[in-house]
Amino acid sequence: MGWCSAILAGLCLAAAGPAAAAPPPLDDAADSLIASLPHCPLRWTAAPGLSERAAVYVPVSADGATGWFQLDTALDFTRIYGRFAAEQGWETDDGLVLAPDFALGDISLGPTWMQAYDRDVFGEGDSLSGSVGLDLFAGRLLLLDFVGDRLALLTPGQLPTALRRRVTWAPAEIREAKLFLSVSLGGRSMTGLFFDTGSSAFPIVVDRSTWCALTGRNGPEDAPERWEVSSWGRPITAIGAPALGPLVIGSARLSDPLVYYLEEQPRMFEQWPFPAEGLIGNAALWGHVVLLDLGLRPRLGLLEGGQ
């Protein structure tokens, strides 16, 4: 089901909506502790006039080559684009290829299975070499520092106690290789929204019927936001309006967040083969340090940065 993020990646709407209320800045002690962890940088790509954070990339090395992969937690399998895997003669099995060594920045993951795409799905001239999916982080603790633009990948025991004590947690569930969050949106409890870093510029995307209930609007004629953009060469229209109340995830509270649906696919999530109400993108948590516990009891944490 990774196609969802690929479709939404071309829709860069963050400039239209509010960002999440940021916690106090990290103090020096917290910043130093994160810097001491095995980590790699996050690189944001911009869509001029729309968003400075349209997508987020991580540096990758595989079998002696380096490149940039999009960070996409809605993908169930990491992907590599182009013919590099075939040219290197990597082991193959059932449509997968085995990189003999794979690393995110300085974080070594050892031999890694990936899906190989023998074409540049992002269009000619794009420097993107692949996409990192949720599979690489299973059983680990993923720290996404949207303040310091860095990523850390840990075992639970590697998280310093001084940081752990500052984290507030919200329950989550891994279903169909996606991390579904437990949130409150406009006073309504929801457990069918998954966290999608591949839809970086979006706060929230849902189906039209859910959008109407969350915003109190009837349709596009009622919506203050309308964006007509191109995704993979196809025209897509995103319709947006503020929710009737805040989005609350753990200790984060986003007042009147913008909620979108796709005019051409008003029942996109309803038609999936498993239950899903929509997605939450990075835009809802910009300014935060986010922890994804992807172990036996999944949860999402937010680091309180003040002294």
Q: Give φ, ψ of 115 to 5 degrees.
A: -90, 135
Res 235: pLDDT:
81
Q: Which two tokens stand for residue 145?
A: 């520092």
- Coil/strand/helix, residue 55: strand
Res 202: pLDDT:
79
- Coil/strand/helix, residue 2: coil
Res 228: pLDDT:
75
- Pairing relationship of beta strands 141-145 and 112-117 according to DSSP bridges: unpaired
Q: Which two tokens stand for residue 228?
A: 């007509």
Q: Provide the 8-state DSSP code for 23.
A: -
pLDDT(138) > 80: yes
CA atoms within 13 A on the CB side of 161: 0
For the chain, the residue count is 307
Res 46: pLDDT:
82
What are the residue boundaries of the structural domains of the chain, listed by start?
3-303
Residues 6 or more apart whose CB falls under 8 angstroms from that of 35 comprise 148, 150
Residues 6 or more apart whose CB falls under 8 angstroms from that of 246 comprise 184, 185, 186, 253, 254, 255, 256, 257
C-alpha of 230 from chain center? 20
CB 243 within 8 A of CB 261: no
Give the gyration radius of the chain's Cα atoms: 19
pLDDT in tens, 71-84: 999 999 999 998 89
User: How far is residue 62 from each of residues 95, 97, 242, measured CA to CA in Å?
Assistant: 18, 12, 43
Q: How far apart are CA 114 and CA 91, in angstroms?
A: 11
Confidence tier at 229 by pLDDT (50, 70, 90): low
CATH number of 3-303: 2.40.70
Res 118: pLDDT:
74
* Total-model pTM: 0.89
Residues 6 or more apart whose CB falls under 8 angstroms from that of 125 comprise none
Confidence tier at 28 by pLDDT (50, 70, 90): confident
Q: How far apart are CA 152 and CA 132, in angstroms?
A: 14
pLDDT(254) > 50: yes
Angle subtended at Cα 15 by Cα 11 and Cα 17, rounded to the nearest 5 degrees: 100
Please state which of the ranges 2-6, 45-49, 173-177, 185-189 shows the lowest mean pLDDT: 2-6
User: How far is residue 301 from each of residues 56, 107, 239, measured CA to CA in Å?
Assistant: 20, 21, 30
Res 272: pLDDT:
93
Write down the mean pLDDT value for the chain.
Answer: 87
Res 227: pLDDT:
79
- Pairing relationship of beta strands 167-175 and 178-185 according to DSSP bridges: antiparallel
Q: Provide the 8-state DSSP code for 135.
A: G
